[in-house]
A and B are shown apart, each in its own frame.
Chain A
Amino acid sequence: MKKLVLFLAAIALISSYCWAAELEYFQVYKPKEGMTADEIMQIEYFVKYTRFAHDVDMDGKAYFIDKSGSTRERETARLRITLGRKSDDIAYKDLVMFTSPQVKGLATLTWTYMDPKRQSDSWLWVPSLKKIKKISQANADDSFMGSDFTNEDILTRRFEDETYKLIKEENFKGYTCEHDKKIYFKNAPCFVIEAKPKNSPWYYSKRILWVDKNTGGGIYEEMYDPLGRMFKVIFKDYEIIKVNGKDYPEQILLEVKDLRTGHRTVIINTDIKFETGLSEDLFSERALTQTRW
């Protein structure tokens, strides 16, 4: 009997993995009742990295706010092309250009691979050198461009990096955004997932995520340090953008607060355009050298 249970559990695991692995690019998925934690998180990552769309073009504004209220701003223009191409293992390519005066011209090109164990390739256009520098992928636990997000939070964390457990399903109590004082997602039905990193020791011991049943997007998460203390909270608001009859959920507001320092970061994405037919040529070193600033 024990063997049978183990066998069935193994079958369930394998089938869950297969289902997860079969998530095809350029489709829109929504979580359903009865899904496992792994299935829900596959969709959450799918939404996070906009794998449903061939390309996206957006502007962004980031505010870095320290506990005294002093605010610094950065503006970016961001392009992404999703390829999901097995022949050269490329999942997607990102181009982020800083457009605000402090670092005007600074631009990064990143190619992310489908193999979850493979690090990304990155190039940086450095205005003070007027030159491209090939750079190593930043450490996963390092700050993402000076924000309170880590690189892993924004760019490099993959589905395969954690194990997941569905804790409960509940209506989200709502999040009061410090940036605009609005209450978001009050009573939104959510899956509550516990995610534990496979890396150990790691800078966090677990994340508790609230995944919106409506879109599959993670709307709120609490991060806990190795001693089990909550040290960071992340909130994400989404907009559903209709493209060719499909509903594309995209993050339009992100707020993260580091509870240890009181510093927080707000990122607002605007002018989001999907499926504009971006050419892959834009995501090349040559395109980076065409930067003028």
Chain B
Amino acid sequence: MKKFVLLLLVCLLAGFAYADERLQLNGYIKNETGLRATDKNYPQKLKNIIELAGQYSIKDDELVFFAKAKYFYDSAYAKDKLDMAAHYMEHIQRTEWLRDCYLDYTEGPWFLRLGKQQVAWGQSDGVAVLDKVNPVDLREYWLPDMVDIRIPLWMFNINYSPKLNSNLQLLVIPDFEESQVAPIGAPFTIRAYQIFDNIMKIPNSRWNINQHFPGRRLNHATYGLQWSDRIGGTDYTLNFLYGPYSTARNTTIQTGLNFKVDRDYKLWRVYGGSFNKTITNPGLLQGITLRGDFAWYNDEPTYYGDPAAGSTKGIARWNNKFWLIGVDKNVLTRWTVSLQYAQYIMEHKLAKNNTLPASQQIAMNAFTYGVQDQLENIFTLRISSHFMNDRIKPEVLWSFTDDNQGKLSPKVSYEIKDNLFLTLGWHYFYGAAADSNGQFSHQSQIYTQLKYTF
């Protein structure tokens, strides 16, 4: 019945599109097939996706309604190997099918976007330094496009431009969604979740898990403020974000075999800024684009505990810093090289008033329960090109840290014919099991994507 309603809606919208030029429609159908490329091979995904977007101009460009819906079915989870994770992976979840649904209002210096949407801050590519407004869906780790990773939220996005090339943006976000990770049994289940699940399976253990979602109060909503301007050929932004952390932090109290777990979404703040500049004047550096993000995470909830035992002992509220600088350059006619270097600097202050030995107060990576270095050096290198009049587009993305762990992702896209695209690629993970990428070293993936746009 649901499918029928969806089909009916598509037909109706298509009918309107022909009848009224104020309505524009666009969409795609896509198949994504992923095959585990290490150890035993099995399909990690056999996903069929349909996405449909529509825009209706109510009053020219002044008042416009836009909505985008997406549906997928992943038949890999119907197989025995992955069926345990099917509930969270087989279909699109809850309200996530609605990717955008908002009203745009433009009047002079004002621009209002009211409704469900994504807001991306910062200049970094694939590293979320300032891109913290929307929670993230990591059920396929960081492999999908960012537009599919961010979970859209209902919000008021109010913009005012006091002068040319400047903008003041205020975000008021009463909505809350928590970031998602893959469930137990999925290819990209994070190690921390796996460890927690193993503990939950201790025979005769009893668990009392309390999820404390942020209250529906003004001081538990998310607020964002961004000022952007241009000075002397440099674009810059100043950013502030306040709200609940999108990932719950667990506080576990164990009494014998009784476990009481409180899952809280702590309030935190992000202060930061970003910039970009292209060297346009003649000289050695002409043609280089420099960009960067800086963020100071105030009161970021961070686990400490005993990584050797894979157990957290508590949550510290630290002031951490994250900065990134990127350099892009077009070289040799058709090649683009993009290099990023980032540092995540943890405050690493031992918790006050507790009696734990220092060995149990080690900062822990929330994704792996491994050791979180006080200083994490992150590098990414992207090299891309195009051939045959943009018909073939090869690209390699290598992201790695100073812990000898990383991900190498080569891919090539081919436009078979108008509107039909084929992509072949490989995600190769390497590193230790307690590292962010290394935890998936047995889940390297060969994949294909076949996409038809309309």
Does any Cβ of B come within 8 Å of A169's Cβ? no
Contacts A142-B330, A284-B164, A286-B161; is A70 near B417 (CB within 8 Å)? yes
| Inter-subunit contact B164/A292 (CB<8 Å) | no
**Closest Cβ of chain B: how far from A65's Cβ, in Å?**
10
Query: Which chain B residues lie closer than 8 Å to A239 at the CB level?
Result: none
| Contact digits for B419-439, partner A, Cβ 8 Å, 1 yes 0 no | 101000000000000000000
Distance, CA A138 to CA B335, complexed state (A)? 9
Contact in complex: A139, B280 (CB < 8 Å):
no
Distance between Cα atoms of A117 and B283 in the complex (Å): 10
CB distance from B65 to the nearest CB of A (A): 10
Interface residues on B, range: 35 or more
Per-residue 0/1 for A100-118: is the Cβ within 8 Å of any B Cβ (1 yes, 0 no)?
0110100000000101011
Min CB distance A223 to B, Å, is: 16
Q: How far is the CA of A293 from the CA of B99 in the complex (A)?
A: 11
Instruction: Tell me how far the C-beta of A137 lies from the nearest C-beta in chain B, rounded to whole angstroms.
Output: 6
Query: How far does the Cβ of A269 sit from chain B's closest Cβ, in whole Å?
Result: 19
- Please judge, given known A-B contacts A119-B278, A119-B286, whether A143 and B389 are in contact too, CB under 8 Å: yes
Task: Please give the distance in Å from B130's CB to the nearest CB on chain A.
Answer: 11
A180 close to chain B: CB less than 8 A: no
Cα A141 to Cα B332 in complex, Å, equals 9
Q: Are B453 and A101 touching (Cβ within 8 A)?
A: yes
Given A72-B417, A102-B418, the answer on whether A136 and B278 have CB atoms closer than 8 Å is yes
- Chain A stretch 108-140: residues in CB contact (< 8 A) with chain B: 113, 115, 117-122, 127-131, 133-139
Whether A292 lies near B418 (C-beta < 8 A) is: no
- Expressed in whole angstroms, the Cα–Cα distance for A113 and B282 within the complex equals 13
A129 touches B289 (CB 8 A): no
Contact A119:B287 (CB < 8 A) given known A130-B118, A137-B330, A292-B104: yes
Residues of B within 8 A of A104 (CB): 26, 453
Which of A101, A127, A135, A143 is the one whose CB lies under 8 Å from B390? A143
Q: Given A102-B418, A134-B235, does the pair A139, B334 have CB atoms closer than 8 Å?
A: yes
Determine the chain A residues whose CB is within 8 A of the CB of B334 once the complex forms.
Answer: 139, 142-143
A136 x B328 contact (CB < 8 A): yes
Residue among A121, A141, A148 with most chain B CB within 10 A: A121
**Shortest Cβ gap from B107 to chain A (Å):** 12
Which chain A residues border B167 with CB–CB below 8 Å?
284-286
A122: chain B residues at CB < 8 Å are 278
Size band of the interface chain A makes with B: 35 or more
Does B228 belong to the interface (CB within 8 Å)? yes
Which segment of B145-153, B349-357, B402-410, B441-449 sits at the interface?
Answer: B145-153
In the bound complex, CA of A237 to CA of B417 (Å): 28
Give A39 to B280 CA distance when docked, in angstroms. Answer: 28
Distance to closest chain B CB from A153 (angstroms): 14
| A139 to B334 alpha-carbon distance, docked (Å) | 7
* Chain B CB within 8 A of A280 CB: yes
Interface status of B120 (Cβ within 8 A of chain A): yes
A144 CB to closest chain B CB, in angstroms? 10
Contacts of B418 in A (CB 8 A): 71-73, 102
User: Is there an interface contact between A121 and B453, defined as CB atoms closer than 8 Å?
Assistant: no
Q: Mark A59-91, 1 if CB is under 8 A from B, else 0.
A: 000001010001111000000000000000000
Known: A119-B287, A129-B145, A290-B111. Contact between A148 and B389, CB under 8 A?
yes
Chain B residue numbers with a CB within 8 Å of A290 are 104, 106, 111, 113
Whether the pair B419, A113 counts as a contact (CB closer than 8 A) is no
CB within 8 Å for A133 and B164 given contacts A102-B418, A145-B390: no
Q: Report whether A64 and B389 are in contact in the complex, using a CB–CB cutoff of 8 Å.
A: yes
Residue of A at shortest CB range from B160? A286
Between-chain CB contacts (< 8 Å), 11 pairs: A72-B415, A101-B28, A102-B418, A119-B280, A121-B233, A121-B278, A129-B145, A130-B150, A143-B389, A280-B164, A290-B104
B residues in contact (CB < 8 Å) with A:
26-28, 53, 55, 64, 66, 100, 104, 106, 109, 111, 113, 118, 120, 123, 125, 145-147, 150, 159, 161, 164-165, 167, 228, 233, 235, 276-278, 280-282, 286-289, 291, 328-334, 386, 389-391, 415, 417-419, 421, 453-454
